[in-house]
């Protein structure tokens, strides 16, 4: 009766006593919220915050589209044909062409991030080889060796030979735990990716480039994608971790893509590609390994205009963008002189049309993004955050500087956007009539004695008859709502207010 009881010690297990966690590929990290897919990086940390709060969900299709002005048009207005006219009347060619260059810049960041993270990257588009060779390089190029590093190493070797204390000669050297590689790479726009890195990636079958300089472009593009997919599946079966696949489509919808096809072929191709990305990121069978995948594309302005391959009245841009998971609109202020003067520090506007929400009931960007400012008051780590709580979205813009690209909230500078203030501060009511000198004004000089018959008229009585702005007659300062109500009643009593029946319509 008094024997020991079984208290179920087997139910208590120490954390970390089981098998070690599976290895994670470089440039991949789990999401801070509940989702079955991990996060990848676009190469721009601020864009990662906008999309999914620190990255973009695996299996997503991300599109960069050129816009005009403040990029405040809806997705349905992109490429919408004008009634009774050509679709080109909606957009100016100069504005769209200027914004098209920045869509390639954002897409280049995602491509460079995949190459530096040793991801299997497939680049397809017109002049794809030139696009890859002009990618931005890393801020700290690992291929170059700094002379200061060599001198420090030699000094350390010399000091190692000098034993300060013999008793520490046979002690065990402590080693620091290895930290995971950074998810984002810092790029420098003033540098170009070295050719040695591109050649090494091609030799290791990590970089596949397909230029659409031949007929049947969609078939060539799909064959290149299937080759990379089969390679990733074979590597996933032999490695401890699955590889990462990035598919880059440059100038999607340009004449190089639609030379032998129509707009319906573009829609079918993008629909098949989206289904492929989903099946790789979330396989239906549990025996298959999940392969993190990201599809990025830049939409060509060619789909905005009515052509022979596009049926009349069909909005091709809207149909294509509805097949994407994330859509970012970019505009250029340089094509609009008024905007460039108001916002001299910004390059263009950024519009968030869609953000990925894969495997989640709610959109993670609305909850955890800091730049958008639409969160529910808590960040991804669970700490309290000011603002948000379902409020309106912030206006965003991007800056392209000599070495880096930044995304910030759109705002005017201190001077209102121009070099000098637009308006002057209004003077307080009644202060302008007050004389600067409190002493009374001197009387005018008397008339000359040569005209005795003319009576002398002095202006002093007239001046005295006018109300003098003394400190006692100055209007009282606003002291509260009661004072405001009394002033309103006094104004209404003194002025004649017209009745509704006296007004003429």
Complete domains list, the chain, with CATH: 61-142+182-361 (3.40.50.300)
pLDDT at res. 75? 78
Longest dimension (CA), the chain: 140
Closest CA to 198 of 264, 263, 133: 133
- Residuewise pLDDT in 10s, the chain (505 residues): 455 555 444 454 444 333 344 567 788 998 888 889 999 999 999 999 999 988 999 999 999 999 988 888 777 777 665 333 444 444 557 788 889 999 999 999 999 999 999 999 999 998 999 999 999 999 876 554 444 444 444 455 555 555 454 455 554 444 443 434 567 789 999 999 999 999 999 999 999 999 987 778 899 999 999 999 999 999 988 887 889 999 999 999 988 897 656 788 899 999 999 999 999 999 987 778 899 999 999 999 888 875 555 665 678 888 899 999 999 999 999 888 888 889 989 999 999 999 999 988 888 999 889 999 876 544 444 444 433 444 578 899 999 999 999 999 998 766 554 444 444 445 555 544 444 444 555 555 555 555 444 444 444 444 444 555 555 555 566 666 677 778 878 877 776 555 555 555 4
Dist CA 227 CA 224 (whole Å) = 5
pLDDT at res. 386? 39
Under DSSP, is residue 363 helix (H, G, I), strand (E, B) or coil?
coil
- 25-73: pLDDT as tens digits: 788 998 888 889 999 999 999 999 999 988 999 999 999 999 988 888 7
Average pLDDT, whole number, for the chain?
75
- 101-151: pLDDT as tens digits: 999 999 999 999 999 999 999 999 989 999 999 999 998 765 544 444 444
- 265-302: pLDDT as tens digits: 899 999 999 999 999 999 987 778 899 999 999 999 88
Closest CA to 187 of 129, 115, 121, 120: 115
pLDDT at res. 18? 37
Residue 308, beta-bridge partner list: none
Extract the tokens encoding 69: 């002005």
Q: How far is CA 460 from CA 265, 375, 444, in A?
A: 92, 70, 8
Dist CA 342 CA 419 (whole Å) = 10
pLDDT at res. 454? 47
For 208-236, give the DSSP string.
EEEE--SS-HHHHHHHHHHHHHHHHHHHH
Q: Other C-beta atoms within 10 Å of 236: how many?
A: 17
Q: How far is CA 493 from CA 168, 358, 480, 486, in A?
A: 97, 65, 20, 11
Residue 257, beta-bridge partner list: none
pLDDT at res. 137? 93
Share of the chain above pLDDT 70, in %: 63
Dist CA 262 CA 308 (whole Å) = 9
């Amino acid at each position: 009766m008094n024997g020991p009881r079984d208290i179920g010690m087997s139910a208590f297990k120490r954390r970390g006593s089981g098998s070690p966690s599976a290895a994670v590929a470089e440039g991949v990290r789990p999401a801070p919220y509940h989702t079955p897919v991990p996060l990848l990086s676009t190469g721009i940390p601020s864009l990662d915050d906008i999309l999914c709060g620190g990255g973009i969900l695996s299996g997503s299709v991300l599109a960069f589209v050129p816009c005009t002005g403040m990029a405040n048009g809806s997705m349905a207005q992109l490429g919408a044909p004008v009634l009774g006219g050509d679709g080109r009347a909606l957009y100016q060619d100069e504005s769209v062409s200027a914004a098209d260059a920045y869509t390639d810049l954002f897409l280049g960041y995602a491509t460079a991030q995949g190459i530096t993270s040793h991801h299997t990257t497939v680049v397809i588009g017109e002049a794809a080889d030139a696009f890859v060779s002009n990618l931005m390089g890393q801020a700290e190029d690992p291929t170059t060796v700094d002379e200061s590093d060599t001198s420090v190493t030699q000094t350390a070797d010399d000091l190692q030979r000098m034993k300060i204390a013999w008793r520490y000669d046979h002690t065990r050297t402590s080693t620091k735990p290895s930290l995971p590689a950074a998810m984002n790479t810092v790029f420098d726009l003033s540098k170009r990716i070295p050719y040695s890195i591109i050649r090494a990636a091609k030799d290791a079958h990590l970089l596949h480039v397909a230029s659409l300089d031949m007929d049947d472009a969609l078939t060539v593009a799909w064959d290149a994608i299937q080759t990379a997919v089969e390679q990733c599946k074979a590597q996933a079966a032999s490695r401890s971790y699955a590889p990462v696949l990035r598919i880059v489509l440059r100038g999607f919808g340009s004449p190089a893509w639609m030379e032998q096809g129509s707009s319906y072929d573009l829609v079918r191709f993008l629909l098949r590609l989206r289904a492929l990305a989903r099946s790789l990121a979330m396989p239906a069978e549990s025996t298959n390994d999940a392969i993190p995948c990201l599809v990025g594309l830049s939409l060509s302005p060619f789909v905005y205009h009515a052509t022979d391959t596009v049926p009349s009245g069909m909005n091709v841009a809207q149909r294509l963008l509805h097949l994407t998971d994330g859509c970012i609109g970019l505009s250029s202020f340089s094509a609009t002189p008024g905007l460039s003067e108001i916002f001299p520090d910004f390059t263009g506007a950024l519009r968030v049309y869609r953000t990925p929400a894969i495997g989640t009931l709610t959109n993670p960007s609305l909850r955890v993004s800091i730049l958008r400012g639409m969160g529910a008051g808590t960040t991804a780590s669970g700490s309290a955050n000011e603002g948000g709580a379902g409020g309106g979205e912030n206006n965003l813009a991007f800056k392209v500087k000599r070495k880096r690209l930044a995304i910030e909230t759109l705002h005017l500078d201190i001077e209102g956007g121009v070099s000098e203030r637009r308006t002057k501060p209004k003077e307080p009511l009644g202060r302008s009539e007050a004389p600067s000198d409190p002493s009374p004004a001197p009387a005018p000089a008397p008339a000359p004695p040569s005209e005795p018959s003319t009576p002398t008229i002095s202006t002093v009585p007239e001046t005295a008859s006018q109300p003098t702005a003394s400190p006692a007659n100055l209007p009282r300062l606003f002291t509260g709502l009661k004072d405001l109500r009394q002033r309103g009643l006094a104004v209404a009593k003194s002025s004649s207010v017209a009745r509704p029946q006296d007004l003429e319509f």
